[in-house]
């Protein structure tokens, strides 16, 4: 039963069938399948299939975009199940995909999981210039700046942002967390980030750790 529903989600996502993704994601929730299981082994697994096909030139940008939209529709059904918090957030995170990069699925998952862990989230969306993060740090109530990059060509915008924070004298005011498929711990260290996480679940642990370091 679990297997079948998750396979239905994957195959609907692969076909870019938004209605199918919504229908099967709802069915998965109704069947009591764990939300994290639906996300990881349904939606993310389906996106991985698309990623492999894209790499092999079996599908192209338009198909990937359609699947990405279907993915968003599925994720929005899961979000209410993650976010069950009291009034007072445990910390504030500003999150965005860096300049030059339009990929937002992974960033949105991280954002959703952090919300679920009772962080207040300000999401700047995609293609976020360094100055926008700097301006957010100036305001004062931001604990963590979280940056996502999916392109090797946009990774450097993370370095630029950290340098811009340094140049504005704000580097010590906020913690910086980075992630995205091409990012590694080594890269994170080389640009002076405080933290790196390979996926959204680890991102939550790392964000909590950063807060406790003060
Ligand atoms: C979907 C997709 C698109 C969609 C994006 C839609 C959207 N709304 O996001 C569209 C069609 C727009 C697109 C466009 C392009 N894409 Co694209 N795309 C992908 C694809 C297939 C899936 C990415 C994805 O969503 N994965 C699923 C999510 C869940 O995974 P994730 O993002 O890695 O996130 C997880 C972790 O990395 C981590 N994480 C993510 N962010 C953060 C942030 C923090 C702070 C932390 C802690 C953790 C964290 O947690 C997440 C959840 O666990 C990948 C292939 C792949 N295998 O990744 C290619 C891929 C990323 N794209 C690629 C390319 C080349 C492009 C284009 C340049 C293609 C072109 N010729 O135009 C353009 C670039 C546009 C731009 N300027 O950004 C390449 C990048 C190659 C490279 N190394 O640079 C890839 C790898 C495909 C490939 N193999 O060639 N793409």
Mutational test site, ligand 1, from 109, 150, 156, 201, max ligand atoms within 8 Å of CB:
150
Kindly state whether residues 113 and 189 are assigned to the same domain: yes
Residue 103 CA, closest ligand 1 atom number = 9
User: Any idea what the CATH number is for the domain that residue 117 is in?
Assistant: 3.40.50.280
Domain that holds residue 41: 2-82
Measuring CA to CA, which residue among 207, 110, 104, 199 is closest to residue 154? 104
Kindly state whether residues 64 and 117 are assigned to the same domain: no
Measuring CA to CA, which residue among 96, 160, 175, 95 is closest to residue 128? 96
Kindly state whether residues 143 and 196 are assigned to the same domain: yes
Kindly state whether residues 205 and 114 are assigned to the same domain: yes
Q: pTM for this one?
A: 0.93
Does a structural domain hold residue 87?
Answer: no
pLDDT of res. 86: 67
Flag whether pLDDT at 116 surpasses 90: no
| Number of domains making up the chain | 2
Flag whether pLDDT at 138 surpasses 80: yes
pLDDT of res. 201: 87
Residues with CB under 6 A from ligand 1: 44, 47, 50-51, 54-55, 61, 64-65, 68, 100-107, 109-110, 146-148, 150-153, 177-182, 197, 199-200, 203
Kindly state whether residues 102 and 197 are assigned to the same domain: yes
Residue 65 CA, closest ligand 1 atom number = 11
Distance CA 210, CA 194 (A): 8
| Residue where a domain terminates, one of 58, 82, 106 | 82
Distance CA 148, CA 179 (A): 5
Greater confidence (139 vs 30) lies with: 30
pLDDT of res. 12: 97
Q: What is the average pLDDT value for the chain, to the nearest integer?
A: 94
Residue 104 CA, closest ligand 1 atom number = 9
Residue 25 CA to ligand 1 centre (angstroms): 22
Task: Taking residues 6-11, report their average pLDDT.
Answer: 97
Does a structural domain hold residue 33?
Answer: yes
Flag whether pLDDT at 87 surpasses 80: no
Residue 131 CA to ligand 1 centre (angstroms): 23
Kindly state whether residues 59 and 100 are assigned to the same domain: no
Task: Taking residues 157-169, report their average pLDDT.
Answer: 98
Kindly state whether residues 99 and 76 are assigned to the same domain: no
Residue 150 CA to ligand 1 centre (angstroms): 5
Does a structural domain hold residue 58?
Answer: yes
Greater confidence (115 vs 95) lies with: 95
Kindly state whether residues 100 and 187 are assigned to the same domain: yes
Kindly state whether residues 103 and 202 are assigned to the same domain: yes
| Residue where a domain terminates, one of 82, 102, 127 | 82
| Residue where a domain terminates, one of 62, 82, 102 | 82
Kindly state whether residues 34 and 126 are assigned to the same domain: no
Among protein residues, the one whose CA lies closest to atom 89 of ligand 1: 55
Kindly state whether residues 96 and 78 are assigned to the same domain: no
Measured CA to CA in angstroms, residue 185 lies from 9, 105, 196, 208 at distances of 32, 21, 6, 18
Structure tokens at 124: 């700047």
Kindly state whether residues 31 and 53 are assigned to the same domain: yes
- For residue 152, the Cα-to-chain-centroid distance in whole angstroms is 17
Considering the chain, what percentage of its residues have pLDDT values greater than 90?
A: 88
Structure tokens at 97: 């995909």
Does a structural domain hold residue 175?
Answer: yes
Lowest mean pLDDT among 39-53, 77-91, 99-113: 77-91
Lowest mean pLDDT among 30-39, 111-120, 140-149: 111-120
pLDDT of res. 113: 86
User: Any idea what the CATH number is for the domain that residue 60 is in?
Assistant: 1.10.1240.10
């Amino acid at each position: 039963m679990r297997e079948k529903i998750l396979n239905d989600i994957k195959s609907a996502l692969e076909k870019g069938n938004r209605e199918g993704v919504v229908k099967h994601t709802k069915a998965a929730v109704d069947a009591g399948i764990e939300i994290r299981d639906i996300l990881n082994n349904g939606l993310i697994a389906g996106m991985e299939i698309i990623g492999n096909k894209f790499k092999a030139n079996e599908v192209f940008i338009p198909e990937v975009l359609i699947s990405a939209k279907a993915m968003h529709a599925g994720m929005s059904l899961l979000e209410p199940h993650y976010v069950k918090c009291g009034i007072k957030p445990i910390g504030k995170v500003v999150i965005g995909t860096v300049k030059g990069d339009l990929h937002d699925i992974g960033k949105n998952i991280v954002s959703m999981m952090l919300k679920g862990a009772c962080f207040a989230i300000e999401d700047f969306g995609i293609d976020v210039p360094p100055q926008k993060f700097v301006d957010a740090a100036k305001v004062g109530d931001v604990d963590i700046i979280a940056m996502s990059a999916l392109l090797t060509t946009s990774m450097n915008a993370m370095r630029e942002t950290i340098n811009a924070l340094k140049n504005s004298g704000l580097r010590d005011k906020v913690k910086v967390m980075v992630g995205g498929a091409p990012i590694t711990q080594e890269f994170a260290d080389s640009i002076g980030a405080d933290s790196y996480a390979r996926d959204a679940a680890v991102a939550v642990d790392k964000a909590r750790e950063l807060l406790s370091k003060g």
